[in-house]
Chains A and B, each alone.
Chain A
Amino acid sequence: MTTANGLDSAKLSAVVPGFEFDEKADLAQSPAWFLDGTHSVPPWTPLFGWFWINFCRHGMQYGAEKLSLPTVKGWDWRFKNGGGYLTLLLVKTEAEQRQREARFREAIRPFVEDYDALWQSQLTEILARYEDLKKLDLDKASNIEVLDNFEQTINVCRRMWEIHMYMMYGTFTAYILFENMCRNLLQIDDTHPLFHKLITGFDNKVLQVDKKIWEFSQRAAKMGLSEIVLTSEPMNIAKNIEAAPNGRDFMRDFRAFLDEDGWRMQRMSEMNMPTWIEDPSPPLTNMKQFLVKGGGFNLEEERVKLAQEREAAEKEVLARIAPEQKGWFTTLLRLAQKSGVFSEEHDHYLDLYMHAMMRRSALAIARRLAAAGTIGSVDDIFFIIPEEIRKVALAPEQFDLKPTVAARRAAWMEWCKTPNPPVILAEGFDMDQAMGVLVKSNDPIALKVVVGAMPVVRPELKADLHGTCGSPGVAEGPARVIMSEEELADVQPGEILVAATTSPSWTPVFSFIKGVVVDRGASLSHAAIVGREYGIPVLMNVFVGTQQIKTGQRIRMDTNLGALFILDK
């Protein structure tokens, strides 16, 4: 359709040109498209969706190709109403699978031979690229330099996803093999408490950040700032501390800590919320929660205990392994142990950090466009896409993107009201068949992050809900149902967190809650890993927990049995 002013309105409204979901063509290509509920619920803003669909898609295909995964060539992605829909690109012939197998065997070798060196080299590369982006003083730079910074940011994002998916495919392959070996040799799988003990008790970057926040809470107490923190609303904590006699020094150090580790937003897969650097209220609220709870940093004590348990578990397991199998079994065990560390650290260094870089660069352009009247406000930038930014960035006063922003913002608000369907299926194709395709792909990420194990229903327990064990243990307490990041500040010590899924930026609350119940998750999803490190039980794949459990209800969870009881119905 062509409008009066000559613009093609269909093209204008495309958020991710080339990758908008087209029911007819896309269902002809693949009969099942899954909504990425972990990352695209609630719906993405157009700008973030553009980055994700283009480059997560590219990264997965890059990773699958670089490793020559025998059965899958990564995932294809489409954008639909703020949701990311994915399908697997299966290798079509057995002959090609065999060819890919031969290459795969060599391509995966670096993961087995020197995992740490491999991960370190990738990390060093991407961190250097972030530093390059940060070099430009965005306020003093010319329009040309700011646009160039944005283009470089796009390139770095692309590279981030390459590293992300190459590492993730390789790492999870090792993890899956270890789990298989445990199943064969020890008759346990990765929902078994003994298995969890084997891979728990490790430090990682995300937990180190939690610890720094706890240390600030201790310092605040020593400096007599507790009262101010405890009586302030989240958005006023910083202001009130700075008004106190020695509060300025405290906040200066806190901001220095954020300059290093604050490149993250509350929501992991979005860029429309402030980073910790822009708005320190989320970490300051975590600090407040530490003060409410009191006592030591339990993670530290917990880790010593978990590490001892892990060593005992290793001893127990190795005693059951034949001497000639010990060599490779130990190598695989170490790799599986690194999978958990990788899962958490990659969120910090790759996803969270990159999205903060994208926000930084996009906001610099936004300020200029808003000043020139191209867009109405800085926040409007999240409703236009790079093609449009390129069009206007060098001579912003010549263009008016306000109608585009208005149309897209209206559409986005509609998307937020109506949830995207979890799966789009071709006619005559059912959910079981669709899951069958996922399993058949042997795609390590699909298996360990998306699908997970299905709960076993045991009628004799008379449980209200069933789930799989992400972290072993039993807990009882009031439920706190959290549907979005904004509600995190409400979480009280001693509660059991109930959510659809959790994100790495949520970790600080893990230190004072009793347990976690998530609708979806597998053994390498975030809630499971962090729950294990904090030694609290995590029940996963409950599917309807957030619908059936109400905040304040007393619940009892027993992950060893895979059961959840609602005590006051």
Chain B
Amino acid sequence: MKKALVIVFAMVIMSFSVSGSFAQDMSSESFRIQGGNFNMTSGNKASENFNLADVVGQVAAQIFASKGYIINAGFLNAAGGELFGFSVAPSVLDFGSLSPNIPVEGKLTLTVNIGNVSGYTVSVIENNPLKTLVEAQIPDTSCNSDSPCSPIQAGMWTGTGRAGFGYHMEGKTVTKDFKDETAFRPFAATIRNERPALIMQSKAKKVADVAHMTVKVLIDQNQPVGQYKNILHFTALLGL
């Protein structure tokens, strides 16, 4: 009896740890509803007698003529019930107390989850360089003098001689200029009217891609004491 009670208790506890699942689709014999839309078909089907893509094209024209609209009129309604997700962890990068000539690094993990739709892009921009309330700034890095960098082109940034703020990316879908662990870029900045810089991109479907960003801060002995802050803004968009 005791054994049975313990086992039951264990099963109850474990059952609460199982995540719920969320239905995305409702279906019956006659139709399949995805994401609040009524979809006629998905995927490309063919038989001996006809190519269903052509039939759908004709049907779509008939629907437009009678109803006046077609939703997901593009490529066979492929995006209808799909999910696109993006994560950034952690939600704040704390650099602690900054000391001259001692680089401080923080790490972010970026994750993209995409369904049966092709590709995505991820870009990043800062609102302004790290600065205090009295407008003292840590400049964005320009990398080593023999390997200059820009918001769209990484360069080598090594040693402790050049103060600045920049980032490095690692992952299979990051842009190709991050060739090794010494390749850094400064952030593009809204305050300079720059466009967000592309950091991840893919044309693959049904993937969960992970990339790691290393953010580095290095100050010199002339840097005023203070709490330096800014906002890093990541944008994920379906690749068209």
Bound together: no
Chain A residues near B (Cβ < 8 Å): none
Chain B residues with CB under 8 Å of chain A are none
